Amino acid sequence: MTEATSVNVEQQIHALVGDIHKLPTPPLVFTQISRVIDNEDASAYDVAGIIAEDPAMSAQVLKLANSAYYGLAHPVPHVKQAVIVLGMNEVKNVVLAASAISAFRKSSADREYQDEFWRHSLAVAVGARMLLRTFQAKKILEAETAFSAGLLHDLGKMVVFSYAPEEHQKIQQYLQETGGPDCRAEREILGLDHCQIGAYLAQHWKLPADITSAISYHHTPQESAETGAYDAIVHVADVLAHRAFGSSGEEDNSSEVLQVGCLERLRIPPDDFGRLTVMVVEEYTRSETFLHMAS
Protein backbone atom coordinates (compact mmCIF):
# COMPACT_ATOMS: atom_id res chain seq x y z
CA MET A 1 0.00 0.00 0.00
CA THR A 2 1.56 3.30 -1.08
CA GLU A 3 1.60 6.32 1.23
CA ALA A 4 -0.94 8.15 -0.95
CA THR A 5 -3.24 5.13 -1.00
CA SER A 6 -2.90 4.74 2.76
CA VAL A 7 -3.91 8.37 3.32
CA ASN A 8 -6.92 7.96 1.04
CA VAL A 9 -8.02 4.78 2.82
CA GLU A 10 -7.63 6.52 6.18
CA GLN A 11 -9.84 9.36 4.98
CA GLN A 12 -12.48 6.90 3.77
CA ILE A 13 -12.36 4.95 7.04
CA HIS A 14 -12.64 8.22 8.95
CA ALA A 15 -15.77 9.03 6.96
CA LEU A 16 -17.09 5.52 7.63
CA VAL A 17 -16.58 5.21 11.39
CA GLY A 18 -16.70 8.91 12.26
CA ASP A 19 -13.41 9.00 14.15
CA ILE A 20 -10.31 6.90 13.55
CA HIS A 21 -9.71 6.89 17.30
CA LYS A 22 -12.92 4.91 17.74
CA LEU A 23 -11.18 1.87 16.24
CA PRO A 24 -10.07 -0.74 18.79
CA THR A 25 -6.65 -0.41 20.30
CA PRO A 26 -3.82 -2.76 19.29
CA PRO A 27 -3.73 -6.16 21.04
CA LEU A 28 -0.98 -5.11 23.45
CA VAL A 29 -0.53 -8.50 25.11
CA PHE A 30 -0.14 -10.15 21.69
CA THR A 31 2.46 -7.58 20.66
CA GLN A 32 4.43 -8.13 23.86
CA ILE A 33 4.27 -11.92 23.62
CA SER A 34 5.23 -11.89 19.95
CA ARG A 35 8.31 -9.84 20.75
CA VAL A 36 9.31 -12.25 23.52
CA ILE A 37 8.67 -15.41 21.51
CA ASP A 38 10.68 -14.06 18.60
CA ASN A 39 13.65 -13.88 20.97
CA GLU A 40 15.52 -17.20 20.77
CA ASP A 41 16.45 -16.91 24.45
CA ALA A 42 12.83 -16.53 25.59
CA SER A 43 11.43 -19.05 28.05
CA ALA A 44 7.99 -20.14 29.21
CA TYR A 45 8.66 -18.08 32.33
CA ASP A 46 8.99 -14.92 30.23
CA VAL A 47 5.72 -15.56 28.38
CA ALA A 48 3.89 -16.53 31.57
CA GLY A 49 5.07 -13.33 33.21
CA ILE A 50 3.41 -11.20 30.52
CA ILE A 51 0.16 -13.19 30.58
CA ALA A 52 0.02 -13.05 34.39
CA GLU A 53 -0.28 -9.25 34.15
CA ASP A 54 -3.63 -9.71 32.37
CA PRO A 55 -6.13 -11.64 34.57
CA ALA A 56 -8.62 -12.17 31.75
CA MET A 57 -5.94 -13.54 29.43
CA SER A 58 -4.58 -15.75 32.19
CA ALA A 59 -8.03 -17.26 32.60
CA GLN A 60 -8.31 -17.93 28.86
CA VAL A 61 -4.95 -19.70 28.72
CA LEU A 62 -5.74 -21.80 31.78
CA LYS A 63 -9.14 -22.74 30.34
CA LEU A 64 -7.54 -23.94 27.13
CA ALA A 65 -4.83 -25.93 28.90
CA ASN A 66 -7.45 -27.61 31.11
CA SER A 67 -9.92 -28.25 28.31
CA ALA A 68 -10.90 -31.70 27.07
CA TYR A 69 -8.96 -30.83 23.90
CA TYR A 70 -5.73 -31.72 25.71
CA GLY A 71 -7.18 -34.45 27.93
CA LEU A 72 -4.64 -34.05 30.73
CA ALA A 73 -4.87 -36.41 33.72
CA HIS A 74 -4.31 -33.60 36.23
CA PRO A 75 -5.49 -29.97 36.16
CA VAL A 76 -3.05 -27.21 35.27
CA PRO A 77 -3.06 -24.70 38.16
CA HIS A 78 -0.61 -22.05 36.97
CA VAL A 79 -0.09 -19.97 33.83
CA LYS A 80 3.57 -21.00 33.65
CA GLN A 81 2.61 -24.67 33.51
CA ALA A 82 -0.12 -23.87 30.96
CA VAL A 83 2.46 -22.25 28.68
CA ILE A 84 4.62 -25.37 28.93
CA VAL A 85 1.65 -27.66 28.19
CA LEU A 86 0.36 -25.63 25.26
CA GLY A 87 3.66 -24.52 23.79
CA MET A 88 4.55 -20.89 23.26
CA ASN A 89 3.24 -20.69 19.70
CA GLU A 90 -0.15 -22.06 20.72
CA VAL A 91 -0.26 -19.51 23.54
CA LYS A 92 0.58 -16.80 21.02
CA ASN A 93 -2.36 -17.95 18.89
CA VAL A 94 -4.88 -18.00 21.72
CA VAL A 95 -3.73 -14.57 22.89
CA LEU A 96 -4.14 -13.18 19.38
CA ALA A 97 -7.59 -14.74 19.00
CA ALA A 98 -8.76 -13.56 22.41
CA SER A 99 -7.40 -10.06 21.79
CA ALA A 100 -9.04 -9.76 18.37
CA ILE A 101 -12.37 -11.19 19.51
CA SER A 102 -12.56 -9.04 22.65
CA ALA A 103 -11.70 -5.95 20.60
CA PHE A 104 -14.88 -6.34 18.59
CA ARG A 105 -17.26 -8.34 20.78
CA LYS A 106 -20.43 -6.36 21.49
CA SER A 107 -23.17 -7.95 23.56
CA SER A 108 -25.90 -5.96 21.80
CA ALA A 109 -24.71 -6.83 18.30
CA ASP A 110 -25.71 -9.75 16.10
CA ARG A 111 -24.09 -12.66 17.92
CA GLU A 112 -24.97 -15.13 15.16
CA TYR A 113 -23.02 -13.08 12.60
CA GLN A 114 -20.06 -12.77 14.96
CA ASP A 115 -20.00 -16.49 15.69
CA GLU A 116 -20.14 -17.34 11.98
CA PHE A 117 -17.42 -14.80 11.28
CA TRP A 118 -14.99 -16.25 13.83
CA ARG A 119 -15.79 -19.84 12.87
CA HIS A 120 -14.85 -19.06 9.28
CA SER A 121 -11.76 -17.16 10.45
CA LEU A 122 -10.62 -20.17 12.47
CA ALA A 123 -11.26 -22.51 9.53
CA VAL A 124 -9.02 -20.35 7.33
CA ALA A 125 -6.40 -20.14 10.09
CA VAL A 126 -6.12 -23.90 10.58
CA GLY A 127 -6.28 -24.39 6.81
CA ALA A 128 -3.41 -21.98 6.22
CA ARG A 129 -1.31 -23.67 8.88
CA MET A 130 -2.12 -27.09 7.43
CA LEU A 131 -1.17 -26.01 3.92
CA LEU A 132 2.16 -24.62 5.05
CA ARG A 133 3.01 -27.74 7.02
CA THR A 134 1.94 -30.01 4.17
CA PHE A 135 3.43 -28.13 1.23
CA GLN A 136 6.29 -26.21 2.82
CA ALA A 137 6.61 -23.72 -0.03
CA LYS A 138 9.65 -21.97 1.44
CA LYS A 139 11.69 -22.88 4.48
CA ILE A 140 11.54 -19.31 5.76
CA LEU A 141 7.75 -19.41 6.13
CA GLU A 142 6.28 -20.12 9.55
CA ALA A 143 3.12 -22.13 10.22
CA GLU A 144 2.08 -19.92 13.13
CA THR A 145 2.36 -16.76 11.02
CA ALA A 146 0.10 -18.44 8.46
CA PHE A 147 -2.35 -19.24 11.27
CA SER A 148 -2.38 -15.64 12.51
CA ALA A 149 -2.82 -14.26 8.99
CA GLY A 150 -5.70 -16.65 8.37
CA LEU A 151 -7.39 -15.77 11.65
CA LEU A 152 -7.29 -12.03 10.87
CA HIS A 153 -7.78 -12.11 7.10
CA ASP A 154 -11.35 -10.73 7.20
CA LEU A 155 -10.78 -8.25 10.03
CA GLY A 156 -12.05 -5.40 7.86
CA LYS A 157 -15.52 -6.97 7.80
CA MET A 158 -15.64 -6.81 11.58
CA VAL A 159 -14.73 -3.12 11.50
CA VAL A 160 -17.72 -2.42 9.25
CA PHE A 161 -20.00 -4.68 11.30
CA SER A 162 -19.02 -3.06 14.61
CA TYR A 163 -18.59 0.58 13.66
CA ALA A 164 -20.82 1.11 10.63
CA PRO A 165 -23.88 -1.09 11.25
CA GLU A 166 -26.10 0.72 8.73
CA GLU A 167 -23.57 0.21 5.96
CA HIS A 168 -23.14 -3.40 7.05
CA GLN A 169 -26.87 -3.97 6.61
CA LYS A 170 -26.77 -2.34 3.18
CA ILE A 171 -23.95 -4.66 2.15
CA GLN A 172 -25.88 -7.71 3.36
CA GLN A 173 -28.96 -6.57 1.46
CA TYR A 174 -26.88 -5.97 -1.68
CA LEU A 175 -25.47 -9.49 -1.41
CA GLN A 176 -28.92 -11.01 -0.99
CA GLU A 177 -30.20 -9.20 -4.05
CA THR A 178 -27.22 -9.55 -6.39
CA GLY A 179 -24.95 -12.22 -4.92
CA GLY A 180 -21.23 -12.05 -4.18
CA PRO A 181 -18.42 -11.47 -4.01
CA ASP A 182 -18.27 -9.40 -0.82
CA CYS A 183 -15.58 -7.06 -2.13
CA ARG A 184 -17.79 -5.92 -5.00
CA ALA A 185 -20.68 -5.17 -2.65
CA GLU A 186 -18.40 -3.32 -0.23
CA ARG A 187 -16.87 -1.16 -2.94
CA GLU A 188 -20.33 -0.36 -4.24
CA ILE A 189 -21.60 0.70 -0.79
CA LEU A 190 -18.44 2.00 0.90
CA GLY A 191 -16.04 2.90 -1.89
CA LEU A 192 -13.46 0.48 -0.44
CA ASP A 193 -13.43 -3.15 0.63
CA HIS A 194 -12.70 -5.18 3.74
CA CYS A 195 -9.19 -6.03 2.52
CA GLN A 196 -8.22 -2.35 2.53
CA ILE A 197 -9.93 -1.69 5.87
CA GLY A 198 -8.35 -4.75 7.49
CA ALA A 199 -4.88 -3.90 6.20
CA TYR A 200 -5.21 -0.38 7.57
CA LEU A 201 -6.18 -1.72 11.00
CA ALA A 202 -3.29 -4.21 10.90
CA GLN A 203 -0.91 -1.31 10.24
CA HIS A 204 -2.57 0.64 13.05
CA TRP A 205 -1.96 -2.35 15.33
CA LYS A 206 1.64 -2.63 14.06
CA LEU A 207 1.19 -6.27 13.13
CA PRO A 208 3.98 -7.97 11.13
CA ALA A 209 4.20 -7.00 7.46
CA ASP A 210 3.52 -10.58 6.31
CA ILE A 211 0.19 -10.63 8.16
CA THR A 212 -0.77 -7.17 6.91
CA SER A 213 0.02 -8.19 3.34
CA ALA A 214 -2.06 -11.38 3.61
CA ILE A 215 -5.02 -9.37 4.90
CA SER A 216 -4.64 -6.92 2.03
CA TYR A 217 -4.22 -9.47 -0.78
CA HIS A 218 -6.03 -12.63 0.33
CA HIS A 219 -8.54 -12.19 -2.50
CA THR A 220 -5.98 -10.99 -5.05
CA PRO A 221 -2.67 -12.76 -4.29
CA GLN A 222 -1.66 -12.33 -7.92
CA GLU A 223 -1.31 -8.59 -7.21
CA SER A 224 1.02 -9.01 -4.24
CA ALA A 225 4.80 -9.08 -4.30
CA GLU A 226 6.44 -12.31 -5.38
CA THR A 227 7.66 -12.77 -1.81
CA GLY A 228 4.14 -12.59 -0.42
CA ALA A 229 3.64 -16.33 -0.16
CA TYR A 230 1.40 -15.95 2.90
CA ASP A 231 -1.07 -14.07 0.67
CA ALA A 232 -1.42 -17.11 -1.58
CA ILE A 233 -1.59 -19.51 1.36
CA VAL A 234 -4.41 -17.58 3.03
CA HIS A 235 -6.20 -17.23 -0.30
CA VAL A 236 -6.17 -20.99 -0.92
CA ALA A 237 -7.17 -21.66 2.71
CA ASP A 238 -10.06 -19.21 2.33
CA VAL A 239 -11.28 -21.03 -0.78
CA LEU A 240 -10.94 -24.39 0.98
CA ALA A 241 -12.91 -23.13 3.99
CA HIS A 242 -15.72 -21.85 1.79
CA ARG A 243 -15.84 -25.12 -0.10
CA ALA A 244 -15.77 -27.14 3.12
CA PHE A 245 -18.35 -25.19 5.12
CA GLY A 246 -20.04 -22.70 2.81
CA SER A 247 -20.64 -19.11 3.85
CA SER A 248 -23.47 -16.70 3.31
CA GLY A 249 -22.71 -13.65 1.25
CA GLU A 250 -19.77 -14.97 -0.72
CA GLU A 251 -19.26 -17.23 -3.71
CA ASP A 252 -18.62 -20.76 -2.50
CA ASN A 253 -17.84 -22.34 -5.87
CA SER A 254 -14.08 -22.53 -5.44
CA SER A 255 -13.52 -23.24 -9.13
CA GLU A 256 -14.70 -19.65 -9.76
CA VAL A 257 -12.84 -17.88 -6.91
CA LEU A 258 -9.51 -19.72 -6.82
CA GLN A 259 -6.98 -17.42 -8.45
CA VAL A 260 -4.97 -18.91 -11.29
CA GLY A 261 -1.42 -19.83 -10.37
CA CYS A 262 -1.86 -20.08 -6.59
CA LEU A 263 -1.68 -23.85 -6.44
CA GLU A 264 1.40 -23.87 -8.65
CA ARG A 265 2.98 -21.12 -6.55
CA LEU A 266 2.55 -23.24 -3.43
CA ARG A 267 3.42 -26.47 -5.25
CA ILE A 268 0.02 -27.98 -4.47
CA PRO A 269 -1.11 -30.63 -6.99
CA PRO A 270 -4.57 -29.64 -8.32
CA ASP A 271 -5.77 -33.21 -7.79
CA ASP A 272 -5.20 -32.77 -4.04
CA PHE A 273 -7.84 -30.07 -3.66
CA GLY A 274 -10.66 -32.45 -2.73
CA ARG A 275 -8.50 -34.22 -0.16
CA LEU A 276 -7.41 -30.87 1.31
CA THR A 277 -11.04 -29.83 1.75
CA VAL A 278 -11.64 -32.91 3.89
CA MET A 279 -8.45 -32.19 5.85
CA VAL A 280 -9.60 -28.65 6.62
CA VAL A 281 -12.81 -30.01 8.15
CA GLU A 282 -10.79 -32.44 10.27
CA GLU A 283 -8.34 -29.73 11.38
CA TYR A 284 -11.17 -27.36 12.23
CA THR A 285 -13.02 -30.01 14.26
CA ARG A 286 -9.90 -30.62 16.32
CA SER A 287 -9.32 -26.89 16.82
CA GLU A 288 -12.88 -25.70 17.53
CA THR A 289 -12.26 -25.88 21.28
CA PHE A 290 -9.55 -23.27 20.73
CA LEU A 291 -12.18 -20.80 19.49
CA HIS A 292 -14.49 -21.42 22.46
CA MET A 293 -11.61 -20.85 24.84
CA ALA A 294 -10.66 -17.59 23.14
CA SER A 295 -14.20 -16.19 23.05
pLDDT tens readout for residues 170-225: 999 999 898 878 999 999 999 999 999 999 888 888 888 899 999 999 999 888 87
Is residue 120 included in any domain, yes or no? yes
Contacts of 9 (CB under 8 A, 6+ apart): 1, 192, 196, 197, 199, 200
Helices (H), the chain: 3-17, 28-37, 44-52, 55-65, 79-86, 88-104, 111-134, 143-152, 155-163, 165-178, 182-190, 194-204, 209-217, 229-245, 254-257, 262-265, 273-294
Number of domains comprising the chain: 1
What CATH number corresponds to the domain at position 168? 1.10.3210.10
Angle at 122 between CA 201 and CA 257, to 5 degrees: 80
Q: Which residue type occupies 120?
A: H
What range defines the domain where residue 149 resides? 3-24+109-294
Phi, psi dihedral angles at 289 (to 5 degrees): -55, -35
Is residue 42 included in any domain, yes or no? no
Q: Of 116, 96, 115, 117, which is closest to residue 207 (Cα–Cα)?
A: 96
Is residue 153 included in any domain, yes or no? yes
Is residue 7 included in any domain, yes or no? yes
Is residue 211 included in any domain, yes or no? yes
Is residue 99 included in any domain, yes or no? no
Dist CA 76 CA 197 (whole Å) = 40
Contacts of 148 (CB under 8 A, 6+ apart): 92, 93, 96, 125, 211
The answer to whether 289 and 60 are in contact (CB under 8 A) is no
The Cβ of residue 21 has, within 10 Å, a number of other Cβ atoms equal to 8
Dist CA 163 CA 166 (whole Å) = 9
Could you read off the pLDDT tens digit of each residue along the chain, which spans 295 residues? Answer: 555 456 677 788 878 877 666 777 766 777 888 888 878 888 888 888 888 888 888 888 888 888 766 677 788 888 988 888 888 888 888 888 888 888 887 655 678 888 899 999 999 999 999 998 887 655 567 888 899 999 999 999 999 998 888 999 999 999 989 887 899 999 999 999 999 999 988 888 888 889 999 999 999 988 887 556 899 999 999 999 998 987 543 444 333 478 878 888 888 888 888 899 999 998 898 777 777 666 6
Phi, psi dihedral angles at 106 (to 5 degrees): -130, 125
Q: Is the dihedral of CA 168, 170, 171, 175 positive or negative?
A: positive
Contacts of 229 (CB under 8 A, 6+ apart): 137, 138, 141, 265, 266
Q: What is the DSSP string of 78-90?
A: SHHHHHHHH-HHH
Could you report how far apart the first and last alpha carbons of the chain are, in Å?
Answer: 32
